[in-house]
Amino acid sequence: MAGNLEEPLQPGRRLRKRNIILVGMMATGKSTVGAMLAEELGYELVDLDHWIVQEEGRSIAEIFAAEGESYFRSAESAALKRVLEGEGKVVSTGGGAALAPGNAELMLAQGLVVALTATEDVIVARTSGDEGRPLLAGNARERVRAIMEARRDAYRFAHCTVDTSELSAAEVLQHILMHYRG
């Protein structure tokens, strides 16, 4: 586990809003760990990509094909703002949700932001054969490498970072709960 605690949580300090927001590259475990966190805490689970699919009535791949990435990022920002209006939620964001201006600040203001990371090899292995990832069209390894390079600093705003490459989902869960419960 890496300790990217730019805004360390002091023991006993309560966040302004009691949500947990998971950010990071695709295939780092946001959806899996998010479901486990929600169950453990009795919180509502909101997978932002699934929420957008429900709102749009079409898959992310279809949105990208018909409207382009810019449209999707705009819809993603609007969805994030609506989803974070309450508390008692675990929000699993898409890999690019932190890219739009204002999204990082919104997430930080609404709960504990946890960045999940993994190595290039792990991400490629976890996504191999997944046709539902429009950003990986073509050579997946080259695309993962390019996306990782472009987003190298995109998740540094998070309260903490957990490298999921060699951890089980249960171990990642424990690391996050330790930070959340302080």
Write down the pLDDT at residue 126: 87
Predicted structure pTM score: 0.85
For residues 88-101, average pLDDT? 93
What are the φ and ψ backbone dihedral angles of 117, each rounded to 5 degrees?
-125, 165
Going by C-alpha positions, the residue among 135, 126, 145 that lies closest to residue 31 is 126
Q: Which residues pair with 20 in a beta bridge?
A: 90, 112
Higher pLDDT, 9 or 49: 49
Distance CA 86, CA 80 (A): 11
Which domains occur in the chain, in start order? 20-181 (3.40.50.300)
For residues 90-117, average pLDDT? 95
Cβ atoms of 51 and 140 closer than 8 Å? no
For the segment 29-75, what is each residue's pLDDT rounded down to a tens digit? 999 999 999 999 999 999 999 999 999 999 998 999 999 989 999 99
What are the φ and ψ backbone dihedral angles of 100, each rounded to 5 degrees?
-70, 140
For residues 117-134, average pLDDT? 81
